[in-house]
A = this chain, B = another copy of it.
């Protein structure tokens, strides 16, 4: 019955849970354990939690637009969060992160990075939460139905910029801790917080700090929790255990630096655009298969166990297709779609620099053009092998054309894929916590895009990382009318509380 409940309406599930908790108090033996009390506390104080989220959303902590007013809002936001953490009894270091140098010569302060700790009991595991307080830009005239910086509840949905990305999840973690504190219950884990304010602008200064604190702040950490993604469903929770990497390539074809007039030179040149279009056209076929020889050589084979993970995932392909506004995907089944998003590489051509890109008709032969494409990487592709394969392939294609132009291929950016071992403690603990709160197994999912922070934290600190999202698939992060459901926010707070307890239980058996 549990899974059925998990798929029902938020309201009925909430009622069901309150009934359960209420039942425990009135008639059950044994008396309610600490978690039941925490759950009840969270339910009873949910309006306060929503109120705090409202206060946080009201701060226009936009890190993307580099203007002094917004930077002051980011500093104010960091101050609010530090106060809240201190209110929990945490020791908070607000680490100065220096300045951001803009291309126009302007300098703006980077908001401080918060390092906070609560408890240092060597008998308890130490769980570190990573989150961010900054948001994407939002203006009501972009298509918001409500003011983006005034949290507005409609039908159980809490609309506002940052509600799901990432202020809501940060507060859910704080709510969980605060419930233990308010009830004077012993926190089952030592808690650490790593909170930044520049995530939407490339996490400036973060990696440097993490590296510096590897044997300081992070030395006692057992695992790092990131809650900065979404489920793949509206109702079923998920755990994320991998993200794809990315190799971003540029291929330049040059005849000369200046453009030509297509009347005066058309017909006698190896035109760089013709070369480039042939090069880009050699990369991927109409079925999405990458044509670079050897590229699939290191892709991890699909195991039977893995297949079962995909089969268990809750995804309505038709609904997904409709909400994506796509007429037809390359694949029809859930399993094929998800595998091609998460565990197979993909190649996308992004565009061309140096050619005519404006509306209208210009009769130019571009003299020098730069094609841009990238390959999403998956385990166990090796970035330097991919780089060599792509370069060799393009050089071969180009040599066959006998063009007198000059071709240069560069890998402009390389981000490794990240994958977690789903047998690690934190995944086991998270699964159990999800079962306790939502009465179901989570979707075990990956993210097709690249979230460098997971890989950076894992590689730099050598600690296990888990992505434990709270938001539903339709939350609209980065989009207009971003929201978090009240249900996700409140049950998510409970989830973190349950996770603390499960981590502690597992720790005692380490």
Q: Which residues of A contact B (CB under 8 A)?
A: 244, 246, 248, 250, 255-256, 258, 261-271, 273-275, 277-278, 280-281, 284, 286, 288, 324-331, 337, 340-341, 344-353, 355-359, 361-366, 372, 374, 376, 400-405, 412-413, 447-450
Instruction: Please report the C-alpha to C-alpha distance between residue A78 and residue B21 in the assembled complex, in whole angstroms.
Output: 92
A366:B351 contact, CB within 8 angstroms: yes
> Nearest B residue to A271 by beta-carbon distance?
B348
Report B-chain residues with C-beta under 8 Å of the C-beta of A288.
267-271, 274
Shortest CB-to-CB span from A87 to chain B, Å, is: 37
> Nearest B residue to A344 by beta-carbon distance?
B267
Shortest CB-to-CB span from A228 to chain B, Å, is: 14
Instruction: Please report the C-alpha to C-alpha distance between residue A244 and residue B248 in the assembled complex, in whole angstroms.
Output: 41
A356:B331 contact, CB within 8 angstroms: no
> Nearest B residue to A355 by beta-carbon distance?
B351
Shortest CB-to-CB span from A7 to chain B, Å, is: 24
B265:A324 contact, CB within 8 angstroms: yes
Report B-chain residues with C-beta under 8 Å of the C-beta of A331.
268
Instruction: Please report the C-alpha to C-alpha distance between residue A340 and residue B341 in the assembled complex, in whole angstroms.
Output: 47
From known contacts A286-B270, A351-B364, infer whether A263 and B246 are also in contact, taking CB-CB under 8 Å.
yes
Report B-chain residues with C-beta under 8 Å of the C-beta of A404.
326-329
A277:B286 contact, CB within 8 angstroms: no
Instruction: Please report the C-alpha to C-alpha distance between residue A286 and residue B276 in the assembled complex, in whole angstroms.
Output: 11
B246:A341 contact, CB within 8 angstroms: no
A449:B351 contact, CB within 8 angstroms: no
From B261, B265, B286, B412, A274 is in contact (CB under 8 Å) with: B286
Shortest CB-to-CB span from A153 to chain B, Å, is: 28
Instruction: Please report the C-alpha to C-alpha distance between residue A256 and residue B328 in the assembled complex, in whole angstroms.
Output: 11
From B270, B327, B347, A330 is in contact (CB under 8 Å) with: B270
> Nearest B residue to A249 by beta-carbon distance?
B361
B350:A352 contact, CB within 8 angstroms: no
The 8 closest A-B pairs by CB, nearest first: A263-B449, A351-B355, A351-B356, A267-B346, A328-B404, A266-B346, A357-B357, A267-B340
The 27 sampled A-B contact pairs (Cβ below 8 Å) are A256-B324, A256-B326, A261-B449, A262-B348, A262-B376, A263-B447, A263-B449, A263-B450, A265-B324, A266-B341, A266-B348, A266-B448, A267-B344, A268-B288, A268-B329, A268-B330, A269-B330, A270-B286, A270-B328, A270-B330, A273-B349, A274-B281, A277-B349, A350-B356, A351-B364, A353-B359, A361-B412
Report B-chain residues with C-beta under 8 Å of the C-beta of A340.
267-268
Most buried by B among A325, A363, A376, A450: A363
> Nearest B residue to A272 by beta-carbon distance?
B349
